[in-house]
Structure 1
C-alpha cells in the first residue's frame, strides 16, 4: 500500500523561489526563506505552503514526529484562512497520513473522507484516487480487509480513465496482499499474474520481482512447493544486490520452508543460513540508517529552533505594529471627533435643506403623476365615447338601411314583378338582377354595421359568420380556428374585438394579395389571444404609413387596454396578434 501512496505523489519539479509549489523540491534554506517572506508580507498562503514543505521534508527524511503534525496543522489552518480549498484538502491528506502513522485512525478517517468527497466533486481523478488509496491503507492497517478492497477497486475504476500503468501495478500489488491475507489464494494468484504480465510489458523490474515473489509464496501456501521454488529462484535472479535486499531475504526464508516441506533438509538448512546472513546484513544497514536519521533529527532540531525564532520575531513585530497602530488610531480618533464636531452643524443644516428640497420634489412628482393619470383617464373616456358614438351611429345607419332603404327596395322589386308582363324579358331581367344585388348589398352593409350573430350567439359564432359572408371566389381562402372554451365578455368588449378582427380581415383582403388568410381565437382564461395571419406580400413595419384602418385598430386596442403585436416581412406575409386581458 505504501508503494501505491508513493506512486500517487505528483512528480517532483524545481520551482521558482517566489512561487513555491507544494509538490516541488526545495532546500531547507529556501523553505525558511519562504516562511520568513510569508511572515514579513503577512501572506497566509505563502506561510501555509512553507509549513507544508517543512512537514514534507521531515516525512521524506523518516522523521515523522509531533513536529510534522504541528507543521501540517498550521498549514491546514492557514490554507483554510486563505480560502484555498485545493491545497486545504491536500494538507488534509498529508495530515491524515501522519495520524495513521501514530495509529490515530478516527482523525485520519475524517480528513481522508472529506478530501475524497472534495476531489470527486472537483472531478480531479488523480487526487481522488490518492484519497481512496489513503483510505484503503488505513483500513488495511486496522485489519478491515473487505473495506480495503472496496477502496482499491475504487482506485482501479478511476485508473481505467487515467490509464496509468504504474498505478495499475501499484493497485495490483496491494490487491495481491489483500487477497493473500484473507487466504483467497486463487484470486491472489490471478492478481499476481496480472501484476507480472504488466510489469514485464512495461519493463518495471521492481514490480516483476514482486510478482514473482507473490507467485512463489502463493504456490507455497497452496502446497505446490516445486512450482514455488521455481518462482522464488526466478525472483532472486532479478535482484541485483541480494545481500541487502529485504525481498531476497524473504525469498531465502520461503525457499528454506519449501525444501523443509519436501524433506530436503540440506537445502532447507542452506537457505535458512542465507536468510540469517541476509537478515544480519540488513539489520546492520538499518542501524546505520537509524544513526543517519538521528543526525538528521539533530539537524532538524536546529532548523526548528530557527523557525521558532522566526515565529517569535513575527509575534514581536506584530505586537510592535499593534502598539503603533493603537497610537495612530487614537490620534486619528481624536482628530476625527474634532472634525465631526465642526462638521456636524454644516452637515445637518445641509441635510435639512436637502430634505426640504426632496419633499418639495416629491410633492411636485405626485402632483404631476395625478395630472398624468387624469389625462390618461380623460383620454380613455374620450376613446370610449368615440367608440360608443361610432357604434351608435353604425346601429342607426344599419336600422335606417334595413328599415327604410331596404324596405323601399323590396317594394320596388314587388312593383317590378307586377310590371313583368309586357316588358322586354332581357332588359327586365337585368334590371331585376341589379335590384336584387342592391338589396343584398344593403343587407350586407347593414349586417356589417350591426352584426346580429354577435348579440344572439356570441363572438365565436359572429366571427365564423363574418368569415363565411366575406369569403367568395374573388377572395383568398379564409380559415377560421378557435381553441379553448369561450367565456363571457361584455357587449362592448365583444363588439370592439369583432371590429378589430373585421378591420384586420378586410385589410388583408384589400392589401396583402394573399392566397390564404388564417383567423384564430385562443381562449385561455383570463385572456383571449387573437391572431390574423396571411401569406401575402408583407411590408416593412418601420416604413408603412398609418392609415385610417390601422388607426381604428390601434384605437380599439387601446380602448380594450390590450396588447398589439405586428410581425411582417416583405414577400413572406404578415402576422397580427392581439392579446386581450379579461
Structure 2
C-alpha cells in the first residue's frame, strides 16, 4: 500500500482559529441576509463585510463545501478593500485559501490566497496570523509527491512558535500535520505519537474536525501494523464525527480505508459495502454542481474583472466623445481642426472595438479552460477509481479465487460450486466497472479498436444488433480528443439501448482532410427529441464535449421512424489538441 497517497487531506472552511461547526437551519441564513441588505442600504460597508463572513459560515454549516460560501467571502474581500481595511481583507484571503484546499483542482488558487495573506502578516508582524498561514501552506506541501523531509523541520518550528505564543489551537493542528507527514514518510511510530498528542488537545479544546482527523490517522497506523480490528474502531469514531460535519472528503477516504481493513479480515460483504460508499461520496463531491461551481469561481471572477475593465473603457470612450464634441463646436471655423478631431474619434472607436474583441476572446478562452478543467477532472477521477478497483479489489478477489481453487478438495461440494460462482461473478463485475470507467482498449490501441471492442461486448448481451463502420484514414488523435469522442459515442449508445427500443444500431465514422463525421442511427421508436434533450444530463455532457472539440451536433428523430445523430468535428481543432498534448 502506498501510504504517501493514502493519508487524507481534510479541511473545513476557516479550519484555523475556529473550534468546529454546529448544525443550523436555513432560517438563520435568511435572517442574516435580511440584516445584510439593511447594512448595504445604509452604506455600512465594514459591518456588511463582517456580515458576509458570518453568512459564509452559515452556508457552510448547512451545505458543506459550496459556492455560496465562496461568493460571500469574495464579497467580504471586496467591501473590506473598498473601506481600506487591509487586515479584514487579508484575513478573508487566508480563509478562502484554506477553503479551496479541499479540492485538488483548486490548489493553485489556494496557494495564491495564502501567500498574499502571509506576505501581509509578515509585513505587519502579526505572529498568530503568520502561524496560521504557514500551517495552511505546509498542509498543501504535505500533499505533494514525494513529500519533502524538510517539511518535518518546518512543522516542528511552527509547533514551537505556537507554544511560544500560547496558540494552543495551532499547536494542536501542527501536531496533526506532523502525524500526517510521518505517515507519508512511512514512519508509523512517530505518526502515532503526534496523532495521540493532537487528539488529547483537540478533545480538550473541542475541535471536532481535528478529533476526527486524528482518529483517522491512528486508524491508518493500526492498519499499517495489521491490527485491522483496532483500525476499524478508530475509523468508525472518525466516521461518526465526519458525518455530522458533512465532510465528504473525510467520509470518502474513511470508507476506502475501512473497506481495505474489512478485506484483510476476509469480511468481503462489509468491504464491498464501504467501497460502494467511497464511490458514492466521490461522485457526490467531485461531480456535484456545488463543487463544479467552486472550481469555476476564480475563473468567473477573472471574467467579471474583464467585464468591469470593458465597462470602464466604454465610459472613458463616452467621456472622450463629449470632449471631442466640445472641441468640434469650438473649432468649426478650422477645417484642419475638424479633420483632426474626426480622425481622433475614429481611432478611439477602433481602439474601443479592439478592446471589446480582445475581452470577448479572453472570456471565451477562460470558458474553454474551465470546461477543459471540468472534463479532465472527471476523466482523472474515472481513471483513478478504475486503477483502485483493478489494483485493489480485483487483485484481492483473484487471490481469493486462487486460494479456493488450491483448497477446493477440502471444501464440501455444496459450498464449493456456489463459492466459485460468486467469486467469478465478483471478478467479472469488477472488470466491467473498471473497463467502463477507463477502457483498456482506448488507452492501448486507440479510438477505432476501442469502439470495436465496445460494440463486440454490447452485442454479447441480448438486445439490439450493433454495427460499426468507418471510412477513410483516421488521422492520429491525442488522448484527450479520443477520450471525448469515445465518451460521446458511448453516451449515445446508452441512450439508444435504454430508450429507443430498436432492433439495429449503426455507428459510422467518416474521415476526410477537413472533417471527421460521426453518425449514430437506430430504427427505434423515435420521438420528440427537443423535449427529451432539455431534461437529460447526458445530452448536456454530449453538447459540452462537442463544443470543446469545436464541432457541431444535430439530432433528427420522428415517432416510429428512429433517431439519427450527426456530429461534425473539424480536423484543425483535433490537430491543435494533439499539438498541445505533445
Same-fold call, TM cutoff 0.5: no
Bigger relative CO (Cα 8 Å, ≥ 6 apart): 2
TM range (shorter): 0.3 to 0.5
Larger Rg: 1
* TM-score relative to the length of structure 2: 0.38
